[in-house]
Amino acid sequence: MGGIRYGACAPVNWRLLVLLTGVLASAQAAALEADALFAKVVPSVWTVVATDAQGRNSSQGSAVVIGPGRLVTNCHVLARMTRFQVTKDNVSYGGKLEFPDPENDLCQIRVDNFHAPAVELADMGALRVGTRVYAIGTPRGLETTLSDGLLSGLRRDDGGQLMFVQTTAPISAGSSGGGLFDSEGRLIGITTFIRRESQNINLAVPANRVAELPERGRLLLERRAALNATRSAEVASGPTAGAAELTAQRRPGDWFEYVITDQQTKLKSVVNLKVDRVEGSRVIFNGGARVEDATGQALDSTSPALVELDVVTPPGGWAPDGKVLSGVHTFKFSKTLRGDPATFDIMAAASPPELIRIGEHQYNAVRIKVNGWHGRMPLHRITLSFIRYEGTVWYSPELMRVVRFTLERLGSSDTRETLELVRAGRN
């Protein structure tokens, strides 16, 4: 009888097997137990306490040490605050804003005579969904709290750039600016906000943005300095025309210069609007990039322009049928902001006209206080977020447009900014 013939077996490469076994054992050994990880990184995570100029309002967050005397936190932690300290175990150090990067909600702060160890940054290309991660911060004032979970998502933009690290590790208010770490204690990201109406969806700004922060912040500060120099030169040379020359009736050649100030970083941006033509009740600006009605309400815009003011303006504007709002009104409406839905449930309370000075000009304006709730599909369409919204509109009946607007959007990622009509004229 013929015996059973088995297929030939490839010889075992024992040297390769031993090497792979050693690599696997080394990788497993590198992962730290939670208590060891906490002991390793907790000296590098601090609490940030910020206050305004009067010391009446304050905000609290977290910060991570990234270098000698340098920490990074979320910019929204410092919003509208003039002084801040980093604290731990009843020890406090005064801090100064060094580099702002509001686009990524990261601000680098400098602390003198501060010697806490810096964290190690993780290799972002090696991140894998499903791996264990740890968050350390000061949620609800509970200093250096540790939580763990999974890396549950890597959220990218349409170009494939990593925008957020998503985790199931619990994050609460006060954790903003804290650290999200891998199992070896390396920084994966800076925890920034949560989706309160969702089940355990928490986000962090990727750690590679921390490495880019000084360069991005330096560029922003240079732009700010250049803008201030330009504005100083314009003031010195004097305006070519004054707002007093304008009327409520728009004409081709009318122009308006607004300045938007981010109150958390003090960075400014300029918006220039010039009337090209008037077609009935439609006023066309900047080659058709913006269309307003006769009361200054934006009907169409292909550029950001006066974004927050445009989106909060209710249907009919602040002067429906040509009459400025008076008394108290409630509004519920929805709009689309650059493709994202935004909803408002607000109350607007108008006060009698008052004089307001902006730069060299004085306007007679109706002050309209706005407060209520705002829902917006925020960054990268994760889910709709409802947050507290407060603002004040100063509307000039003589110019039939807003001359000043202040915003406080209060939530897990606060926004505070001021828009002012600094110059206007008629060519």
Q: What is the pLDDT of residues 211-268, one digit of tens each?
A: 999 998 888 888 777 766 665 565 454 443 455 567 778 999 999 999 988 877 777 8
The arithmetic mean of pLDDT across residues 356-371, rounded, is: 86
Q: What are the φ/ψ torsions at residue 34 (nearest 5 degrees)?
A: -55, -40
Express as a percent the part of the chain with pLDDT over 70: 79
Decide if pLDDT at 18 tops 50. no
pLDDT at 235: 47
Q: Please state, rounded to an integer, the average pLDDT across all residues of the chain.
A: 81
pLDDT at 414: 54
Q: What are the φ/ψ torsions at residue 338 (nearest 5 degrees)?
A: 50, 45
Express as a percent the part of the chain with pLDDT over 90: 39
Decide if pLDDT at 89 tops 70. yes
The CB density around residue 194, as the number of other CB atoms within 10 Å, is 20
pLDDT at 64: 97
The residue ranges of every structural domain in the chain are 29-222, 239-426
The arithmetic mean of pLDDT across residues 139-152, rounded, is: 90
pLDDT at 54: 63
Measured distance CA(33)–CA(39) in Å, rounded:
10
Cβ atoms of 56 and 210 closer than 8 Å:
no
The arithmetic mean of pLDDT across residues 369-395, rounded, is: 71
pLDDT at 407: 85
76 or 122, greater pLDDT? 122
Cβ atoms of 342 and 333 closer than 8 Å:
no
372, burial (CB in 10 Å: exposed 0-12, middle 13-18, buried 19+): middle
Measured distance CA(68)–CA(114) in Å, rounded:
7
88 or 227, greater pLDDT? 88
CATH architecture for the domain at 29-222: Beta Barrel (2.40)
Decide if pLDDT at 310 tops 70. yes
pLDDT at 302: 76
* CA nearest neighbour of 192 among 64, 311, 42, 39: 64
Q: For the CA atoms of 122, 107, 374, 301, what is the dihedral angle to 10 degrees? A: -100
pLDDT at 73: 94
Identity of the residue numbered 337? L
At 145, is the pLDDT very low, low, confident or very high (cuts 50, 70, 90)?
Answer: very high
Measured distance CA(208)–CA(360) in Å, rounded:
44
pLDDT at 240: 39
Decide if pLDDT at 291 tops 60. yes
pLDDT at 31: 85
80 or 294, greater pLDDT? 294
pLDDT at 228: 62
149 or 337, greater pLDDT? 149
Q: What is the pTM of this model?
A: 0.55
* CA nearest neighbour of 332 among 372, 392, 391: 372
At 337, is the pLDDT very low, low, confident or very high (cuts 50, 70, 90)?
Answer: low
264, burial (CB in 10 Å: exposed 0-12, middle 13-18, buried 19+): buried
CATH architecture for the domain at 239-426: Beta Barrel (2.40)
Decide if pLDDT at 132 tops 70. yes
292 or 410, greater pLDDT? 292
